[in-house]
Amino acid sequence: MNLATGSDHVPVIFELLPAEHLPALTDTRPLNFKRTDWKRFATLIRAHRPALDLLVTAVKAADGEAAVQATLDDAFVSVQKLLQGALEETTPRCKGSATEFKFWDAACDQTLPELRLAELDLAHARSDGTGEGTARMRRAGASKRFRKQVGKSKRSFFDDRLNDLSGNSIFAAMKWSDGAARRHRSPPMVGADGAVRVTGESKMLLLREALLAPPPPTSARLPDLHSPLPSTLAGAPLRLEELRSAVFGHAQDRASGPDDIPFRALRAAWPELGEQLFALFETALAIDWHPRPFRQATWVALQKGGKRDPTLPRPFRLIALLPTLGKVLEKVVAVRLATLGLEHGFIASEQFGSLLGRSTADAALTLVQDVEAGWSHARPRARTEVSTAPTSAEFRRNSAPPRSLRSQTENPGVTQGLSY
């Protein structure tokens, strides 16, 4: 025993020091593009135009196909980072938190610490056995103020949503109020091995294994897409109006991919970046190169309709969300393929959709014309036996197998880069 202090044990002292470099806390809430300051966004893009001009100069000065491809990849990565940084500076984040409380705002953040402190004081008072009544009253007052603020934030949140309703969103809100459009957390999923997946990462892995399985091996010889055929057509250079139509041809609120750049931002940046984007896309199309930043996608699992078991992966379908700039290049190539298909006849005349002048309204008019023509030449009794079932295959989109379509495009000599 230590006679000086009366202690019968040896004290052990621990010194806790903070880490030298603490990781920065990142806000994971999505950006609210409806509140973006587009004028300031365009100003930020304009300030970085000299740097983009240097990238375009580097692409044009690159020697060799491999060097041009690598320089193009770096240039498109820089454009993506520029757009993302400008959006971060000019766009506030959506209200809410990672726990799906969309109504949560700054006022709720101010009242919550008071409630937590009151609950902590009440716990200390109970353990000490003194002042429990005062702590309980303080906790009740803090809880009342917190619930009042949460109710006020909820009313403000939904009032703003109701005031912003317009067009078809009114009918979507009516369905949501009936409970038809609400989506809850997915139930646990069961794989082929019988194991139950509960976490989000395990569910994503199961969906990927079941719905994105590698194709079976084949002995068929694939065509060499880099060797031109004798009948290959010469690729036409990209036109500025062609690229502009591809940028403005998409819906401005279309879901973005892993780059998180909406077409609304690309439209706002077009007056400042039009020339630079044209130079980059022109080079990519001239050398038949699909940049590496565009070769990634965000997969979204959507549940199929009908009464299906949501615990199995098969009742879901995966939708790929591609990078925004990659969709622009895809649009240019798709329009060129459709134009060549109409000129050389390797697209069926019954094909509707994704073709200029062959919309859904045109398909309906053609169908009505065929029915009326059949009625005019048929017997009176046969008029009641007309059916639209045989036309379902004629007007079905994307029904051609890839191998068949590729072989058809090789005969008229479509540019190798387009068929790829």
Quick one: pLDDT at residue 392?
38
Quick one: pLDDT at residue 38?
93
Q: What angle do CA 16, 21, 22 make, to 5 degrees?
A: 80
Q: Which residues of 272-294 are buried (b: 16+ CB within 10 A; e: fewer)?
A: bbeebbbbbbbbbbeebbbbebb
pTM (whole model) above 0.85:
no
Q: Where are the alpha helices (DSSP H) in 17-166?
A: 38-47, 49-61, 65-90, 106-128, 132-163
306-320, 321-335, 363-377: segment of lowest average pLDDT = 363-377
Which phi and psi angles does 189 have, rounded to 5°? -110, 145
What's the CA dihedral at 339, 342, 346, 349 to 10 degrees?
Answer: 140
SS3 assignment, position 196:
strand
- Alpha-carbon distance of 283 to 73, in angstroms, equals 11
Instruction: Specify the amino acid at residue 393.
Output: A
Quick one: pLDDT at residue 402?
52
Quick one: pLDDT at residue 386?
43
Strand partners, 197: 189
User: Of 400, 409, 283, whose CA–CA distance to 419 is shortest?
Assistant: 409
Report whether pLDDT(214) > 60: yes
- Alpha-carbon distance of 343 to 350, in angstroms, equals 15
What are the C-alpha distances in Å from 128 to residues 114, 166, 382?
21, 58, 94
- Alpha-carbon distance of 148 to 145, in angstroms, equals 5
Which phi and psi angles does 75 have, rounded to 5°? -65, -45
Q: What is the pLDDT of residues 318-343, one digit of tens each?
A: 999 999 999 999 999 988 888 888 77
152 exposure class (CB count in 10 Å sphere: 0-12, 13-18, 19+)? middle
Q: How confident is the model at residue 90 (pLDDT cuts 50, 70, 90)?
A: very high
Report whether pLDDT(154) > 60: yes
Give the number of C-alpha atoms closer than 13 A to the C-alpha of residue 206, restricted to the C-beta side.
23
Give yes or no for a contact between 88 and 265, defined as CB atoms under 8 angstroms apart.
no
Structure tokens belonging to residue 143 = 């809880």
Strand partners, 200: none
Q: What is the pLDDT of residues 288-299, one digit of tens each?
A: 899 999 999 999
Q: What percent of the chain has pLDDT over 90?
A: 34
Structure tokens belonging to residue 173 = 């809100």
Report whether pLDDT(388) > 50: no
- Alpha-carbon distance of 120 to 19, in angstroms, equals 27
Give yes or no for a contact between 94 and 32, defined as CB atoms under 8 angstroms apart.
yes
Question: Whose structure tokens read 């065929």?
Answer: 370
Report whether pLDDT(96) > 80: no
Q: What is the mean pLDDT of residues 134-160?
A: 91
Give yes or no for a contact between 244 and 18, defined as CB atoms under 8 angstroms apart.
no
β-pair type (196-197, 189-190): antiparallel
Give yes or no for a contact between 362 and 352, defined as CB atoms under 8 angstroms apart.
yes
Structure tokens belonging to residue 176 = 């949501």
User: Of 229, 411, 232, 207, whose CA–CA distance to 310 is shortest?
Assistant: 207
- Alpha-carbon distance of 106 to 28, in angstroms, equals 16
What one-character-per-residue DSSP string does 307-337 give? S--TTSSTTEEEEEE--HHHHHHHHHHHHHH
Structure tokens belonging to residue 16 = 């806790």
Quick one: pLDDT at residue 383?
46
Give the number of C-alpha atoms closer than 13 A to the C-alpha of residue 365, restricted to the C-beta side.
6
Give the number of C-alpha atoms closer than 13 A to the C-alpha of residue 106, restricted to the C-beta side.
1
- Alpha-carbon distance of 74 to 59, in angstroms, equals 9
Q: What is the pLDDT of residues 3-42, one digit of tens each?
A: 555 556 666 776 766 555 655 556 677 888 888 999 999 9
- The domain locations on the chain are 33-94+201-211+231-351+397-419
User: Of 367, 379, 169, whose CA–CA distance to 253 is shortest?
Assistant: 169
